[in-house]
Structure 1
Amino acid sequence: MTSNATTVEEYIASVPEERRPFIENIRKIIIENLPEGFEEGMSYGMIGYYVPHSIYPNGYHCNPKLPLPFITFASQKNSINFYHMALYMDKGLYDWFVAEYPTYSKQKLDMGKSCVRFKKLEEIPLELLGKLVKKVSVADWIAQYEKALKK
């Protein structure tokens, strides 16, 4: 489920009231740990963090008018989903996250290629998400992205 909200604040206001604190806490931990250069805004109907065109003018290869996406998260029907593109592209980062997850949560990891689904909202491992967000700088993300494009 994506949103037609045009701002992060509008998106948060549209989330069911019982989920808002969890969305706000994820946003807060991302903002506190996000490396310099990434920007926040709406991306694909979700709250997103991306490399702006001022830093990476080429934009996203699927639609160059869009900035290069990095992290998005959203309230879905049965979970809050957190998407981190570097988890998909960096096996070392993925392996680190999978290994660390049990230290921060008693819940079974529910994860796709870049998507982590949180069904028990009280169990979202915010500290781990903060550590994950810190691990990839803008320069590192652009380098990973461009390397993947060349393949």
Structure 2
Amino acid sequence: MQSKATTPEQYINELPDDRKEVIQKLRQTILENLPKGFTEQMSYGMLGYVVPHNLYPSGYHCNPELPLPFINVASQKNFVALYHSGIYASEPLYDWFVTEYPKYVKTKLDMGKSCIRFKNMDTIPYGLIGELCSKMSVEDWISLYEKNTKKSKP
């Protein structure tokens, strides 16, 4: 579900109370742990954490007018989603997260390529999410992004 909100605050204020609290806590966790250089904005109708054009002028290869995306958070119909591009692009980071997750949550990890789905709002591992956010700097993300996008070009 994409929001038409233009600011993170507006996005959060539009949520039902039970989701508002969870998204606010995820937002706080990300902002407290994300390395310097990433910027918060609305992105794809969700909360977005991106590499701004002043640090990466090329922008996102799919649409260079957009900054390079890194993390998104969204309240979906049946779950809260955290989209982390670094997990998708880095096998060691993915493996670390999958190994650590059961140490924080007893239920099975519900995850796609870059999407971590939280259906039970009471078991979101904020500490683990904070640690995940801290593991990749802007420079690391740009380097990994370029490596992965350039190898797919002929």
The alpha carbon displacement at 1:17 in A equals 1.3
TM-score (norm 2): 0.97
Give the structure 1 partner of residue 85 of structure 2. 85
Query: How far apart in 1 are the matches of 2:36 and 2:18?
Result: 31
C-alpha distance in 2, partners of 1:107/1:38? 31
How far residue 134 of structure 1 moved from its aligned partner, in angstroms, is 0.2
Structure 1: gaps spanning 5 or more residues: none
Long gaps (5+) in structure 2: none
User: How much identity, in percent, do the aligned residues show?
Assistant: 60
Alpha-carbon offset, residue 19 of structure 1? 1.0
Distance in 1 of aligned mates of 2:122 and 2:2? 22
Match of residue 28 from structure 2 = 28
Matches within 5 A, 1:16-55: 16-55=16-55
Matched with 2:75 is 75
Alpha-carbon shift at residue 18 of structure 1 (Å):
1.5
CA-atom RMSD in angstroms: 0.5
Tell me the distance in 2 between the aligned counterparts of 1:115 and 1:29: 17
Q: Measure, in 2, the Cα distance between the counterparts of 1:11 and 1:24.
A: 10
What is the letter of the counterpart of residue 26 of structure 2?
Answer: I
The one-letter code of the counterpart of 1:103 is K
What is the aligned length?
151
Q: List structure 1 segments (4+ residues) > 4 angstroms apart after TM superposition.
A: none
1:134 and 1:70 mapped to 2: Cα distance? Answer: 12
